[in-house]
Amino acid sequence: MKSSTTKKLVLTALLMALTIVATMFIRIPLPMGYVNLGDAFVLLSVFILGPVYGTIAGGVGSALADLFGYPTYAPGTLIIKTVMALVAFVIYKLLLKATGKSIVGEIVGGIAGAIIMAFGYFFYETLFFESAGVAIMNVPWNLIQGAIGVIIATAIMRILIATKILDVFQK
Phi-psi region of 66 (alpha: psi -120 to 50; beta: other; left: phi over 0): alpha
pLDDT per residue as tens, the chain (171 positions): 457 788 899 999 999 999 999 999 998 887 777 889 999 999 999 999 999 999 999 999 999 999 998 899 999 999 999 999 999 999 999 999 998 888 999 999 999 999 999 999 999 999 877 778 778 888 998 999 999 999 999 999 999 999 988 877 665
Residue 126 CB coordination number (10 Å): 15
Q: Which domains does the chain have, with CATH numbers?
A: 2-169 (1.10.1760.20)
Q: How far is CA 47 from CA 9, 93, 136, 140, 152, in A?
A: 15, 9, 29, 25, 13
pLDDT digit string, tens, across residues 121-158:
999 999 877 778 778 888 998 999 999 999 999 999 99
- What single-letter amino acid sits at 158? R
pTM: 0.92
Cα separation, 5 vs 15, in Å, equals: 15
